[in-house]
């Protein structure tokens, strides 16, 4: 039985031919291909075999094949070979069906039976060889194709298949001999000559590849592809001058071909002519008639290197992106590409300007919008972040990331009600992105905290942690808010320590844990953790310095406490009580 039934387009000519033969009682079907001998059905009387019934079944099987009812055809053909094991035509048809359904093992078994019964039948042999090749038995396939070739009845396609089998078996010389034999029969036909140059190039014999490629060019003098191959062969054959000359001819016939311009520049680079290399690259990128996609594809090769200190071509590549936008000033892709290089090179303001221009020309590349979100967020230009994300929300109302960044901007601008409003709109869109969903709940928790709605704040943080349990920033913020309120301190301490385990030596996280210990009146331990925070960068934070002053005061070191309170005031972000603490030299909470 066939394992998979699909509607394949089988060749029906043979079946119709055999149908006609069976109906007329002919013993041998008419051959429609002079290079092959068509399969025949057994018509001789045999003891105990109803040959007439077999012919009828065979005809019906061919009908079913023509109609695409392969399961029925297989049943009849199997019935025939069971009654008449010497029926080579039925084995052949079974092989064809199974091979067309990709069941090479079964197809191989049936065609072997057909070939054993009729080894002189070239059609059987070709089917046998094709299945061997499909099964990657290339040398065996070549042996069978060779039998057909030696019969003197092989067509051109058989020679090509024989050469291919030799090539796949890594017998390149034999493949070349095969194509040379075909050339002797049909002459210097283009397909034969093309294969010869390709095989010689594959072998590494570029001298011969060049000779045959010249033959091709002589047949097709206007074919630029052949000219390009010839230039590459000259280059690989250590003939750079001839390679350059060939490219000059190509460029003269196709002056706006960016591929050719880049290749010409590459030739200059390999020959050490750096000035000519950069001059050619400049012309290629400034060529407004050149293909922009080819230019972008070339530039993409440098994207991963642009932020590396050791990358010596940074200035040149950035200059090429400048030429790109000059040549293609009306194409959004040019500005997006320049924006990418500036973005990865950390020139964020310039990158934003180019992305903005790209969006003006074409607003449907959402990746550009996302990069602008990150730029304004990193630069802490929250007004710009709110503006661009709001525009993105209007254009792409189903993209939740726009709502997330809009909320970040509003939270940072202390527009907490707006942040809550936009988060509530965006959260239903995050079902398929759990990480983003958790982050949006964190932003919601921050906003509610700032508005003093601690119930909703805690609920939002718990929702975030339920989705992603190990986000250190969520854990830290939630723990800190609880410590400020002096509530659920054990839970806060647990979350804070977890955040430190995930991101060690983070001054903000260490300060949070120290402040929780302070609220638990564990002043000695609190001093250790807040001191760690100061050493790891917290000394630049007014909040951390004020916390440290408070701890020192509780430990009895009032003079040093005042010093840190003064530092806190100088740095900013201190509490409203900082002046009173300094003036009175007393702790107020």
In a domain, 265, yes or no: no
pLDDT computed for residue 327 by the predictor? 96
* Domain annotation covers residue 125: yes
CB contact at 8 A, 168 and 149 = no
Give the bridge partners for 49, in sequence order: 46
Q: Is residue 572 part of a domain?
A: no
Cα torsion at 215, 216, 217, 220 (round to 10°)?
A: 130
- Helix (H), strand (E) at residue 381: none
Please list, in sequence order, all residues whose beta carbon lies within 8 angstroms of the beta carbon of residue 421, skipping any fewer than 6 positions away: none
Is residue 107 within 8 A of residue 95, CB to CB? The reply is yes
Contact indicator for 444, 480 with CB cutoff of 8 Å? no
Neighbouring C-alpha atoms within 13 Å toward the C-beta of 533 = 26
Domain limits for position 126: 1-135
CB 233 within 8 A of CB 213: yes
Residue 403 maps to a domain? no
pLDDT tens for each residue of the chain, 589 residues long:
444 333 333 333 333 333 333 332 322 233 333 333 344 454 444 555 678 889 999 999 999 999 999 999 999 999 999 999 999 999 999 999 999 999 999 999 999 999 999 999 999 999 999 999 999 999 999 999 999 999 999 999 999 999 999 999 999 999 999 999 999 999 999 999 999 999 999 999 999 999 999 999 999 987 888 998 998 999 899 998 898 888 888 888 877 788 888 888 888 888 888 999 999 999 999 999 889 999 999 999 999 899 898 899 999 999 999 999 999 999 999 999 999 999 999 999 999 999 999 999 999 999 999 999 999 999 999 999 999 999 999 999 999 999 999 999 999 999 999 999 999 999 999 999 999 999 999 999 999 999 999 999 999 999 999 999 999 999 999 999 999 999 999 999 999 999 999 999 999 999 999 999 999 999 999 999 999 999 999 999 999 999 999 999 999 999 999 999 999 999 998 999 999 999 999 999 8
Number of Cβ atoms within 10 Å of the Cβ of 461: 25
Q: CA 334: distance to chain centroid? A: 21
CA-nearest of 471, 74, 315 to 460 is 471
Residue 46 dihedral angles phi and psi, to the nearest 5° = -130, 150
Within a domain: residue 213?
Answer: no
Instruction: Check which CATH number belongs to the domain holding 67 and give it.
Output: 1.25.40.10
pLDDT of 522 reads 96
Q: Which of 439, 440, 444 is nearest to 472 (CA)?
A: 439
- Round to whole Å and give the CA distance between 513 and 475: 11
> Torsion over CA of 429, 431, 435 and 438, rounded to 10 degrees?
80
Neighbours of 192 (CB within 10 A): 23
- Domain-embedded: residue 85: yes
Tell me if residue 283 falls in helix, strand or coil.
helix
pTM to 2 decimal places? 0.66
For residue 273, give both structure tokens.
Answer: 């002519």
Q: Is the dihedral of CA 398, 402, 408, 409 positive or negative?
A: negative
Residue 410: how many CB atoms within 10 A of its CB? 25
Kindly report the number of other CB atoms within 10 A of residue 422's CB atom.
27
**Cα distances (Å, whole numbers) of residue 528 to 524, 548, 555, 572, 588:** 7, 10, 12, 23, 22
Neighbours of 431 (CB within 10 A): 9
Domains of the chain: total: 1
Q: Please tell me the distance from the alpha carbon of residue 51 to that of residue 497, in angstroms, as a whole number.
A: 89
Query: Would 293 be classed as within a structural domain?
Result: no
- 110 inside domain: yes
Q: How far apart are CA 575 and CA 583, in angstroms?
A: 14
Instruction: Tell me the C-alpha distance between 516 and 483, whole Å.
Output: 5
Are 492 and 482 within 8 A, CB to CB? Answer: yes
Q: How many whole angstroms separate alpha carbon 64 and alpha carbon 70?
A: 6
Residue carrying structure tokens 């071909």 = 257
> Tell me, what's the pLDDT at 37?
38
Q: At what angle do helices 190-203 and 156-168 cross, to 10 degrees?
A: 10
């Amino acid at each position: 039985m066939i394992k998979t039934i699909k509607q394949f387009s089988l060749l029906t000519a043979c079946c119709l031919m055999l149908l006609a033969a069976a109906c007329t009682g002919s013993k041998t079907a008419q051959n429609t291909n002079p290079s092959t001998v068509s399969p025949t059905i057994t018509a001789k009387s045999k003891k105990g075999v109803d040959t007439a019934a077999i012919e009828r079944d065979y005809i019906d099987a061919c009908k079913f094949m023509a109609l695409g009812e392969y399961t029925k055809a297989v049943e009849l053909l199997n019935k025939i070979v069971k009654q008449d094991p010497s029926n080579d035509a039925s084995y052949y048809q079974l092989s064809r069906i199974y091979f067309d359904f990709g069941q090479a093992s079964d197809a191989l078994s049936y065609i072997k039976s057909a070939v054993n019964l009729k080894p002189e039948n070239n059609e059987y042999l070709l089917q046998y060889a094709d299945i061997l090749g499909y099964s990657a038995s290339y040398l065996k396939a070549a042996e069978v194709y060779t039998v057909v070739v030696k019969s003197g009845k092989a067509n051109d396609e058989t020679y090509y298949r024989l050469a291919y089998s030799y090539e796949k078996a890594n017998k390149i010389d034999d493949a070349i001999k095969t194509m040379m034999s075909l050339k002797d029969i049909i002459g210097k036909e283009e397909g034969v000559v093309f294969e010869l140059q390709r095989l010689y190039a594959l072998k590494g014999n570029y001298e011969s590849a060049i000779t045959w490629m010249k033959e091709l060019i002589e047949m097709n003098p206007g074919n630029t592809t052949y000219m390009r191959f010839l230039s590459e062969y000259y280059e690989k054959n250590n003939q750079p001058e001839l390679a350059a000359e060939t490219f000059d001819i190509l460029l003269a016939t196709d002056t706006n071909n960016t591929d050719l311009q880049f290749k010409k520049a590459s030739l200059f680079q390999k020959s050490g002519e750096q000035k000519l290399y950069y001059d050619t690259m400049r012309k290629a990128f400034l060529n407004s008639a050149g293909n922009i996609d080819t230019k972008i594809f070339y530039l993409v090769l440098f994207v991963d290197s642009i932020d590396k200190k050791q990358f010596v071509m940074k200035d040149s590549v950035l200059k090429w992106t400048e030429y790109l936008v000059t040549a293609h000033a009306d194409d959004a892709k040019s500005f997006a590409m320049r924006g990418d290089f500036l973005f990865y090179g950390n020139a964020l303001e310039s990158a934003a300007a180019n992305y903005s221009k790209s969006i003006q020309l074409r607003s449907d590349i959402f990746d550009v919008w996302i990069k602008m979100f990150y730029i304004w967020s990193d630069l802490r230009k929250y007004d710009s972040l709110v503006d661009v994300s709001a525009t993105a929300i209007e254009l792409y109302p189903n993209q939740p990331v726009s709502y997330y960044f809009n909320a970040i901007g509003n939270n940072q601008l202390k527009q907490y009600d707006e942040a809550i409003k936009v988060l509530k709109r965006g959260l239903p869109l995050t079902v398929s992105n759990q990480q983003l969903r958790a982050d949006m709940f964190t932003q919601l928790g921050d906003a509610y905290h700032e508005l003093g709605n601690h119930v909703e704040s805690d609920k939002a943080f718990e929702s975030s942690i339920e989705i992603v349990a190990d986000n250190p920033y969520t854990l830290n913020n939630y723990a800190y808010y609880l410590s400020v309120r002096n509530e659920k301190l054990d839970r806060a301490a647990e979350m804070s320590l977890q955040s430190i385990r995930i991101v060690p030596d983070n001054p903000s996280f260490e300060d949070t844990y120290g402040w929780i210990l302070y609220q638990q009146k564990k002043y000695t331990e609190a001093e250790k953790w807040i001191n760690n925070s100061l050493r790891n960068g917290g000394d630049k934070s007014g909040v951390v310095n004020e916390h440290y002053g408070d701890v020192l005061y509780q430990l009895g070191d009032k003079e040093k406490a005042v010093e840190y309170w003064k530092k806190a005031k100088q740095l900013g972000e201190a509490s409203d009580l900082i002046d009173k603490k300094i003036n009175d030299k007393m702790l107020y909470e």
